[in-house]
Amino acid sequence: MSADLVKRANAVRAEFKKLESVAGSGYHDNDRNPARNDLFLAPQKNGLPRASESLVAFFDHDDMETVEFVGPDAQKADAALKNWLQKNSKGDPSNRPGTERKLILRTLPRLKLEQVDGQPRLSIWLTDWNDVLYALQAEGVAVAGLPLEE
């Protein structure tokens, strides 16, 4: 199953790559916002990574209630989260906002990169997802989401 998820993630990035080369797709460098022609639509023109560079997270709302990163995406997400934790865990956590305090004291120290079906996998509880996404975005990591089951 893990190899299939890696293939699906790569297919999503390949589709974004195609869209980035098509004017009018909303992902092309020159696509403008129709409501505000002075603004661009493409993420890369608005200070974000290209959509084709996004990590792909798989959401399991039914069985495990987790968000899964698989393969190289799991390794990249894990590295970004460890980097965020290292930068933000200095000092007294009680002086931090609730999201950061929760990430520092509970959520990130419990995350473990595991091997499942021969692929790295990082599993995050849905209840922790918004906080984890906060840390990933702070590290400049873009995330696209798909359902775990097709």
Q: Can you give the residue ranges of every domain in the chain?
A: 2-147
CATH of domain 2-147: 3.40.1170
User: Please, is 74 exposed, middle or buried when counting C-beta atoms within 10 Å of its C-beta (0-12, 13-18, 19+)?
Assistant: buried
Whether 66 and 57 have beta carbons less than 8 Å apart is answered as no
pLDDT of residue 147: 95
pLDDT tens for each residue of 19-56: 999 999 999 999 998 899 888 988 898 888 999 999 99
